[in-house]
Amino acid sequence: MNSKDKTIHSYIKKIKHHLPICKSRERAFLNDMFTSIKDYSDNIPELTEQEIISEFGDPKNLAANYIIEADASYLNQEINYSRKIKKLAVIFIIIVLSIYSITVYKMYKKAQSSYINREIVTIEEDNHDN
Amino acid sequence: MDNKSNFRRGSVELLVLHLLQYKDYYGYELSQTIKQYSDSILDIPVGSLYPALYKLIDAGYITDYKKQVGKRLVRVYYHIEKLGLERLEILINDYNETVNAVRSILNYAPDTGDETDE
């Protein structure tokens, strides 16, 4: 990857950071932005991030424009879906950790109850017959 | 283009469909063409243009396809569909009606003579 591509990728990454979700549509948008910047920079041998910002805008504002212009119902749906997935993931992790903790506790208890009990038996000689 | 200017924002769909009726464009090319032929009065940032294009695709007015450009670069071109041409006609009629109506109002200047009590 040449330095120009690295600069563009860095800029694109900043836009991605400011997007609330990154599904297929957002990935397509970021790809389209990459291509647009490549087209712009065709005749520019050394491209700086400042030049990209001058032409295309601050990454934060660009992400904000995308959100403003995007279909509101699509965004709501995807954000709600992401939230649900995150909640389910958290619940799943809690369940797995709980099962793991109970299993470990049971194993500990079982190990504890299976200790061999030592009993000291003293054998004394019986001297009464003598 | 000022994002707070709803009047201009509403014209993006019209301008894009109008240009696409003549040939297929890719995103940055559309943005630059609009800027050039409007003497930079209409400057639609690509960040706003792409979501507008996606909405047009969702509505079935346009479609997109990929074209290999150079070794690694793939450009997405946009093509107007029959539904888009019909939509364009509606938008042009709507625009003309609106412009005429606004012009009529702007040409209206009420008399500002003194009021007299009778």
Tell me whether residues B47 and A65 touch, CB distance under 8 A. yes
Higher-scoring residue by pLDDT: A100, A1 = A100
Higher-scoring residue by pLDDT: A68, A119 = A68
Q: What is the DSSP letter of B5?
A: -
A11 touches chain B (CB under 8 A): no
pLDDT digits over A2-29, tens only?
Answer: 888 899 999 999 999 999 888 888 999 9
A57 touches chain B (CB under 8 A): yes
State how beta strands B62-69 and B25-26 pair: unpaired
Please give the model's pTM, rounded to 2 decimal places. 0.71
pLDDT digits over A62-100, tens only?
Answer: 998 888 887 777 777 777 777 888 888 999 999 999 999
Tell me whether residues B3 and A68 touch, CB distance under 8 A. yes
Indicate the range of A3-7, B37-41, B69-73 predicted with least confidence.
B69-73
List the single residue in A25, A35, A39 with the smallest CB-CB distance to B54: A25
pLDDT digits over A92-106, tens only?
Answer: 999 999 999 999 999
Say if residue B3's pLDDT is above 50: no
- Sheet with strand B73-80: strands edge to edge: B25-26, B73-80, B62-69
Q: What is the DSSP letter of A118?
A: P
Q: What is the DSSP letter of A1?
A: -
The pLDDT value recorded for residue B9 is 64
The pLDDT value recorded for residue B1 is 43
Using a CB-CB cut-off of 8 Å, the residues of chain A touching B29 are 39
B6-102 folds as Arc Repressor Mutant, subunit A (1.10.10)
**Burial (Cβ within 10 Å: 0-12, 13-18, ≥19) of residue A67:** middle
Percent of chain B with pLDDT over 90: 65
Say if residue A130's pLDDT is above 60: no
The pLDDT value recorded for residue A59 is 93
CA dist B25 and A39 (Å) reads 13
B64 touches chain A (CB under 8 A): no
- Quote the ipTM score: 0.75
Percent of chain A with pLDDT over 90: 37
pLDDT digits over B12-21, tens only?
Answer: 999 999 999 9
B50 touches chain A (CB under 8 A): yes
Interface of A with B in 68-97 (CB under 8 A): 68-71
Q: How confident is the model at residue B71 (pLDDT cuts 50, 70, 90)?
A: confident
Tell me the average pLDDT across B100-112: 89
Task: State which residue of chain A sits closest to B55, comparing Cα positions.
Answer: A71
The whole-angstrom distance between B27's CA and the closest CA on chain A is 7
**Burial (Cβ within 10 Å: 0-12, 13-18, ≥19) of residue B116:** exposed
Tell me whether residues B76 and A35 touch, CB distance under 8 A. yes
Q: How confident is the model at residue B8 (pLDDT cuts 50, 70, 90)?
A: low
List the single residue in A32, A40, A71 with the smallest CB-CB distance to B50: A32
| Helix ranges restricted to H, chain B | 6-9, 12-20, 27-37, 46-58, 82-107
Please list the helix, strand and coil fractions of chain A in percent, rounded to the nearest 5, in that order: 75, 0, 25
